[in-house]
Amino acid sequence: MTQTNPLVRKFAKGASYLKRHGGRMTTARLLQGLGNQIANSGKGKGKAQYPLGMLVKFSDAAALDWVSEPHWKKNPRTVGEGPFVTAWIMSPPGESSGGHQNIFRFLSYLEAAGHTVKIFLYWSQAIPVDADRVREMVERSSNYPSLKATYALYDPTVGVGDDVDAIFATGWETAYPAYLDRSNARRFYFVQDFEPSFYPVGSENQLAENTYRFGFEAFTAGKWLATKLHDEYGMTTHPFDFAAEMTLYKRTNDSRRKDVFFYARPVTMRRGFELGCMVLADVKKRRPDIRIHMAGWDVSEWKVPFEYVNHGAMKLEELAPLYNQCAVALVMSLTNLSLLPLELASCGTIPVVNDAPNNRLVSDNPAIDYVPLSPGAMAGEIIRIVDAQDQVERSREAAASATTLSWEDSGRTFVADFEEAMNA
């Protein structure tokens, strides 16, 4: 029997993980595994060396001097009235990459307005990425809209091309190749979260924060990011509002509900998994009869101190039926607000969210129940919603409130702001 080379098996496993979860999560998993492996192999030998592995390529981060005026500002591209050719540099998307799905939503609005989209995949790890396979995965997935866009691996020796009018960075690591690219195209930044907060204070934290000093013009997911980047870094910002995809998220259950949903992402620190578990442990202690559903990640490897239903990472079309079983949902957002609260509200599920400016400035929808970040207070509010006599009426009102919000409206705002920025 032929045995597969262990290195080949590792690459195959990594490629499968990359397809499902995307470049950013795969990089984090790879570096964690490499660190553990090297630490164990080096015990007592004094020969272990840790890799200088990050989302950004070491050479790109080292080459960029953001204090000096960049070439694309010294000799800015002259553009007409449009339509424009746009290049979007991004980490490889995965089937369940929510951030990428939102980016592609706005790419579809650009294309609908007559602009051209070119996608460039930026990747710092050894696992090979095939641009054609990424395109095929996106085209097959119901999680992504259909695009006419071209796909290519980003090659700095080639760049985005002389026909490109605007380059968009889509995550802090992609801001480096976007800045360094030899094109004199306009530079923009599609910002969905405050990414320095993804890391403890250190190199990656600072490298991420520095990208807000690159001189890019930002299009931000909500007003909290727009305000923060403008006030603290002097960026020109254009916020767009959050909405829910009404073809996916509808209220179909008009009965009383008793179940609770928790957006569980232990691998995403800003989603406050441990804090959420504290809240729900209190809920179960007070009310053992309440059933708790967890979705977002397979949490079977985490020691959760109460009974729950583990749904793992679900497909988009599977979410609404689950939401419609639940009276209330716990969504922890420690940086920018998640997209889930409005999607939950569309299904008549009351979102309980930790109260903070990073959430309230994004959405003031009355269906969202903002509660101080105290496990006891949040647990008490969840139980109150489940037991409320007017639960069904409030569920109807929540669903109705979400219908006033439209991604199409946000898309029109984005396209109009982009075209204005190009002609400024």
Q: Which domain CATH number covers 291?
A: 3.40.50.2000
pLDDT band at 405 (very low <50, low <70, confident <90, very high): confident
Neighbours of 186 (CB within 10 A): 23
Same domain, 232 and 297: no
Q: Do the domain assignments include residue 51?
A: no
Residue 299 has pLDDT above 90, yes or no: yes
d(CA 253, CA 325): 7
By residue count, the chain amounts to 424
pLDDT band at 97 (very low <50, low <70, confident <90, very high): confident
pLDDT band at 36 (very low <50, low <70, confident <90, very high): very low
pLDDT band at 8 (very low <50, low <70, confident <90, very high): very low
198 Cα distance to chain centroid = 11
- According to DSSP, residue 20 is labeled H
Tens digit of pLDDT for each residue in 200-244? Answer: 999 999 999 999 999 999 999 999 999 999 999 999 999 999 999
- How many domains does the chain contain in total? 2
Chain-wide mean pLDDT for the chain? Answer: 91
Q: Do the domain assignments include residue 3?
A: no
Same domain, 205 and 329: no
Closest listed residue to residue 164, CA positions, set 191, 145, 182, 148 = 182
Same domain, 90 and 226: yes
- Determine the pLDDT at residue 39: 43
Q: Do the domain assignments include residue 224?
A: yes
Same domain, 298 and 185: no
∠ at Cα 25 (21, 27), nearest 5°? 125
Residue 247 has pLDDT above 60, yes or no: yes
Who has greater pLDDT, 8 or 66? 66
d(CA 402, CA 364): 11
Q: Do the domain assignments include residue 74?
A: yes
- Determine the pLDDT at residue 19: 56
d(CA 256, CA 138): 38
Same domain, 210 and 171: yes
Q: Do the domain assignments include residue 29?
A: no
Same domain, 173 and 305: no
Same domain, 136 and 187: yes
- Determine the pLDDT at residue 44: 46
Which strands, in side-by-side order, build the sheet including 309-312? 309-312, 292-295, 259-263, 326-331, 350-354, 369-371
Cβ–Cβ < 8 Å for 338, 345 = no
Same domain, 236 and 313: no
Q: Do the domain assignments include residue 49?
A: no
d(CA 175, CA 90): 9
Q: How far is residue 186 from each of residues 71, 79, 164, 271, measured CA to CA in Å?
A: 11, 9, 9, 34
| Pairing mode, strands 150-153 and 116-121 | parallel
Who has greater pLDDT, 143 or 16? 143
- Written as six digits, the tokens of 61 are 């981060």
Least confident among 92-96, 173-177, 270-274, 398-402: 92-96
The mean pLDDT value for 277-295 works out to 98
Q: Do the domain assignments include residue 53?
A: no
d(CA 112, CA 415): 10
Same domain, 143 and 287: no
Helix ranges (DSSP H) in 287-406: 316-323, 340-346, 357-360, 375-387, 391-402
- Determine the pLDDT at residue 52: 57
- Determine the pLDDT at residue 125: 87
Same domain, 124 and 238: yes
Same domain, 73 and 219: yes
Provide the 3-class DSSP secondary structure of residue 10.
Answer: helix
Q: Do the domain assignments include residue 68?
A: yes
Residue 16 has pLDDT above 70, yes or no: no
Same domain, 230 and 319: no
- According to DSSP, residue 88 is labeled E
Print the domain residue range for 82.
58-243+409-422
- Determine the pLDDT at residue 24: 61
Where are the extended beta strands (E) located within 288-368?
292-295, 309-312, 326-331, 350-354
Tens digit of pLDDT for each residue in 168-207? Answer: 999 999 999 999 999 999 999 999 999 999 999 999 999 9
Q: Can you give the CATH number for the domain in which 101 is found?
A: 3.40.50.11090
Cβ–Cβ < 8 Å for 110, 86 = yes
